[in-house]
């Protein structure tokens, strides 16, 4: 990996890829879909398997972002970058990520703690992974030029934004369900 954060050309050595509204929208959809998949992965009842499932979701998401942005994909390189991003960029308050997964092995309170926190945390981390990769790709970067250490503060910021985005999405869903229930109740009465 190089210390370069951005490149000045596309994969083919030509001019940078210009982000388009269509590519931007497609990447937003890709990220949101995978945030949901990663949240579900947090419900896997076996410690460490939940994190492995979320990592698989993140790698798949980056593969789709690569396709949408016209960037060459390398699964092993992406796994390394994701692992490094999470290791160097996860905010201090989230460093217990593996411990939350391990808590599932404690019957009762451990399981409740993990189920109450890990889906949202997986979603926020997946959001951050997606946003960092997409930001880098949209500026002409490649997997090979993405420097996780140089992007660690951006990643930490995106984790915090991801937490807010996931909370907002859950609130919208809950409000929508409540509105649907009220409509059904009104129509039935």
Looking at every residue in the chain, the average pLDDT score rounds to 80
Q: What is the pTM of this model?
A: 0.77
Query: Rounded distance, CA 31 to CA 26, Å?
Result: 9
Output the pLDDT for position 189: 54
Output the pLDDT for position 10: 43
Would the CA dihedral through 83, 88, 91, 94 be positive or negative?
positive
List Cα–Cα distances, 14 to 17, 18, 22, 23, in angstroms: 9, 11, 21, 19
Output the pLDDT for position 11: 44
| Chain segment 28-54, per-residue pLDDT in tens | 999 999 999 999 998 888 888 888 999
- Domain boundaries defined on the chain: 21-170
Our CA dihedral for 179, 180, 182, 188, rounded to 10 degrees, sits at 160
| Phi (first) and psi of residue 8, to 5 degrees | -100, 0
| Chain segment 120-142, per-residue pLDDT in tens | 889 999 999 999 999 999 999 99
What does the buried/exposed string (b/e) look like for 106-121 if buried means 16 or more CB atoms within 10 Å of the residue's CB?
A: eeeeeeeebbebbbbb
| Chain segment 62-117, per-residue pLDDT in tens | 999 999 999 999 999 999 999 999 888 876 655 566 666 666 666 666 666 666 67
């Amino acid at each position: 990996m190089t210390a370069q954060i951005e490149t000045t050309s596309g994969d083919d050595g030509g001019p940078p890829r210009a982000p388009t509204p269509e590519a931007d929208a497609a990447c937003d959809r890709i990220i949101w879909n995978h945030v949901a998949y990663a949240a579900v992965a947090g419900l896997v009842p076996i410690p460490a398997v939940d994190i492995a499932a979320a990592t698989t979701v993140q790698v798949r998401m980056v593969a789709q972002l690569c396709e949408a942005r016209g960037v060459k994909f390398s699964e092993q390189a992406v796994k390394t970058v994701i692992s490094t991003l999470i290791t160097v960029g996860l905010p201090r308050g989230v460093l217990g990520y593996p411990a939350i997964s391990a808590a599932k092995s404690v019957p009762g309170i451990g399981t409740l703690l993990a189920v109450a926190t890990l889906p949202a945390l997986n979603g926020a981390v997946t959001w951050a992974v997606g946003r960092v990769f997409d930001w880098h790709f949209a500026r002409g970067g490649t997997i090979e030029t993405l420097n996780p250490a140089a992007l660690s503060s951006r990643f930490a910021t995106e984790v915090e934004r991801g937490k807010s985005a996931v909370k907002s999405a859950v609130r919208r869903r809950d409000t929508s369900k409540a509105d649907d229930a009220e409509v059904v109740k009104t129509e039935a009465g």
